[in-house]
């Protein structure tokens, strides 16, 4: 496995913010909101976090892997996408769709 | 690697002499030279290893912040010259006898970045993304009732973060 990319598994992410806070490069940005859901049979609705956006700025990421290590829900993992090439810095910030490992367009 | 490691702290004026003695006692392999910012002083450290790797020797000395000068040991270990230049660039230590050419940083770049009293400007001008919560948007807008106390970025001194 080449450690060349951090992939996000959005269904596992609970928006706990741990990776964002531990990233030494401050290059992860996350937005989320809370929603109330009622489980079948539960008396009261509970609050859950819903992920709105998750971006990694690969112009700053130094591939230290701390985010992968700290995620308590295994929502981040190493992936072997190729290194990104672009002449625009904005292109190096990837969002949820591009960070999802099944998506091969993020090469 | 090595099994035993002797450690010794020496006064700065005996630095070169002591490193020479330890080398002659069989610690002929130069491993590394570096520095540690201890706030009130700078500690310079050299690690020497026996050539059969059976044990090693760590020698350190303290430099006062007002006088960051020390003798170069480049004549004893040519490889140390590179490490001394790096320590010079990063901690502002001047090694007497080394030409102290810059390795990585441009001549005109200011203060040595690994000193703890140097403010890392990127930390001051960048907004920390970790302050966002489900109830606090990235732009600082609050929705709902965020309960927890405000988070602070780990490792960045409070004094850098006051706006
Ligand atoms: S690999 Fe390191 S620098 Fe990159 S996003 Fe993760 S924690 Fe940040
Ligand atoms: S640490 Fe994991 S679960 Fe928490 S916000 Fe980051 S990716 Fe999501």
Q: Consecutive sets of 10 residues in chain A, 107 residues long: mean pLDDT of each?
A: 89 95 94 89 88 94 95 94 83 92 51
Tell me, yes or no, if A57 comes closer than 8 A to chain B by beta carbon. no
Regarding the beta carbon of A63 and ligand 1, being less than 6 Å apart is answered yes
The larger pLDDT score, comparing residue B109 to residue A53, is at A53
Helix, coil or strand: residue B9: strand
* CATH number of the CATH domain containing A79: 3.30.70.3270
Residue B64's DSSP bridge partners are: B41
Verify whether the Cβ–Cβ distance B154 to A20 is below 8 Å. Answer: no
pLDDT band at B111 (very low <50, low <70, confident <90, very high): confident
Nearest CB to B133; choose among A17, A23, A28 = A17
The larger pLDDT score, comparing residue A20 to residue B149, is at A20
Boundaries of every domain in chain B: 4-96, 119-163
Contact partners, residue B7, CB within 8 Å, separation at least 6: B57, B58, B59, B60
Contact A47, A35 (CB under 8 A): yes
Q: Which ligand 1 atom sits closest to the C-alpha of A66?
A: 7
Between positions 100 and 139 of B, the ones with CB within 8 A of A are 126, 128-130, 132-135, 137-138
Instruction: Please list every residue in chain A whose beta carbon sits closer than 8 Å to the beta carbon of residue B153.
Output: 21, 26
How many pairs of residues across A and B have Cβ atoms under 8 Å apart? 40
Tell whether A107 is covered by a domain: no
Tell whether A67 is covered by a domain: yes
pLDDT of residue A107: 44
pLDDT of residue A105: 47
Nearest CB to A29; choose among B129, B135, B144 = B129
Regarding the beta carbon of A71 and ligand 1, being less than 6 Å apart is answered no
Following DSSP, what letter does each residue of B42-62 receive, concatenated? EEEEEEEE-TTSSEEEEEEEE
Helices (H) and strands (E) in chain B, counts: 4, 6
Tokens of residue A101, six digits: 């490992």
pLDDT of residue B59: 98
Q: pTM for the whole thing?
A: 0.68
Tell whether A17 is covered by a domain: yes
Q: Is the pLDDT of residue B159 over 70?
A: yes
pLDDT band at B125 (very low <50, low <70, confident <90, very high): confident
ipTM of this complex: 0.79
Contact A52, A39 (CB under 8 A): no
pLDDT of residue A72: 97
pLDDT of residue A83: 64
CATH superfamily of B4-96: NADH:ubiquinone oxidoreductase Nqo5 subunit (3.30.460.80)
Regarding the beta carbon of A78 and ligand 1, being less than 6 Å apart is answered no
pLDDT of residue B126: 86
Mean pLDDT computed over B51-68: 95
Give me chain B's average pLDDT, please: 88
Compute the residue count for chain A: 107
Nearest CB to A21; choose among B137, B143, B151 = B151
Verify whether the Cβ–Cβ distance B128 to A17 is below 8 Å. Answer: no
Number of structural domains chain A divides into:
1
Domain ranges, residue A69: 6-38+46-99
Tell whether A12 is covered by a domain: yes
């Amino acid at each position: 496995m080449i450690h060349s990319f951090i992939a996000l598994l959005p269904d596992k992410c609970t928006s706990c913010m741990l990776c964002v806070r531990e990233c030494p490069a401050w290059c992860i940005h996350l937005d989320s909101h809370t929603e109330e859901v009622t489980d079948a049979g539960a008396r009261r609705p509970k609050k859950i976090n819903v992920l709105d956006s998750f971006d990694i700025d690969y112009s700053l990421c130094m591939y230290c892997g701390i985010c992968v290590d700290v995620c308590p829900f295994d929502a981040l993992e190493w992936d072997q996408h190729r290194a990104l090439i672009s002449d625009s810095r904005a292109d190096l910030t990837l969002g949820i769709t591009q960070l999802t490992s099944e998506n091969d367009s993020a090469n | 690697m090595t099994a035993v490691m002797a450690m010794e702290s020496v006064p700065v004026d005996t630095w070169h002499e002591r490193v020479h003695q330890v080398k002659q006692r069989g610690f002929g392999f130069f491993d590394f030279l570096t520095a540690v910012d201890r706030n009130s002083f700078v500690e310079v450290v050299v690690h020497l290893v026996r050539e059969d790797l059976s044990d090693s020797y760590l020698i350190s000395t303290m430099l006062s912040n007002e006088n960051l000068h020390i003798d170069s040991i480049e004549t004893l270990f040519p490889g140390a010259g590179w490490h001394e230049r790096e320590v010079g660039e990063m901690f502002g230590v001047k090694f007497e006898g080394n030409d102290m050419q810059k390795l990585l940083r441009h001549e005109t770049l200011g203060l040595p970045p690994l000193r703890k009293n140097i403010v890392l400007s990127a930390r001051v001008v960048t907004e920390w993304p970790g302050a966002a919560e489900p109830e606090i948007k990235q732009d600082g807008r609050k929705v709902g009732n965020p309960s927890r106390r405000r988070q602070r970025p780990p490792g960045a001194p409070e004094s850098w973060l006051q706006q």
